Amino acid sequence: MMLRSDPSTYPARIRVGIGPRDKARFPLEDSALCEALYGRLEEFVAQKGRPRPAVIALEANQISQFDIAPILKAGGDAHRFISAVAGQPGIEAVAMVGLVNLRRNSRNKDAAVLGAMCFVEWGADSRWYSALRPVQDGLFRAEWPVALRSAVEGDPRPGGVGGWFSRARRQSLRLKASFDGPQAGLNQVH
C-alpha cells in the first residue's frame, strides 16, 4: 500500500507493508531481533545488492515496514518521521535497516565507505541494540565481522539514530497518513 502524508510535512508518497508478526522471524528478545533483522539485510545485500532504507515498526502481533527512500530523496526529516512512527499506540520497537555512509574516504572525497546497519530501539525504556558491518564494492569481507552493540552493555549510542520514542513523547508525534490501497505482504522486509 502507499502512504500519503501531508505534503507540507513529508512531500513524498512511500510504500508500506503490513502483516502479522511471526515471532520466529522477528523474535521478542533484543539481540535475537536485531540479529534476525540484520541477517535479512545481509542476505539481501549478498543476493540483490543495495537495499532501499527501511523503517520497521514492531507491535506485539503486527509488523509494518516503511520504505523511507522517498522521504530522504525529498529532503524530508527522516528522524521526525521515524519518531512519528514510534509515537503510534502499540508500537513496541522501531528499527532502521539499510546501508549507511560510515565515513568519507580521505583520499577520494566522493567515495563513501558504506556499512550495512540495523538499529533497533524499544519504547518501554529506550534501550537499543545495533549491528553494523562495512561493505566494500557490494561485498562483505571475512576480516570485517559484524559489530554488535547495545545500551544494556553500556555502549555509546551511534550518532544519527535512536531517540525516536523520547522525541515522539516530547513533541507529541504520531503518524497521520492515508493509504492509497493494498500492497503485497511483507516480502520486501530485508
Q: Among 9-18, 29-38, 41-50, 176-185, whose mean pLDDT is lowest?
A: 176-185
C-alpha grid cell for residue 6? 501531508
The structure's pTM equals 0.84
Give the single-character DSSP code of 52: P
Task: Quote the percentage of the chain above a pLDDT of 90.
Answer: 62
Domain ranges of the chain: 2-179
Q: For residues 160 and 153, what is the distance between their CA atoms, to the nearest angstrom?
A: 19
pLDDT of residue 141: 78
C-alpha grid cell for residue 56? 520497521
pLDDT score of 2 more than 60: no
pLDDT score of 28 more than 80: yes
pLDDT score of 186 more than 50: no
What would the pLDDT profile of 88-136 be if each residue is shown by its tens digit? 999 999 999 999 887 655 566 566 678 899 999 999 999 999 999 998 8
In one letter, which amino acid is 121?
Answer: E
What would the pLDDT profile of 52-74 be if each residue is shown by its tens digit? 999 999 999 999 999 999 998 98
Local structure of 165: helix, strand or coil: helix
Q: If phi over 0 gives left and psi between -120 and 50 gives alpha, with beta otherwise, what is residue 176?
A: beta
The mean predicted confidence, pLDDT, of the chain is 85
Task: Give mean pLDDT, residues 11-28.
Answer: 89
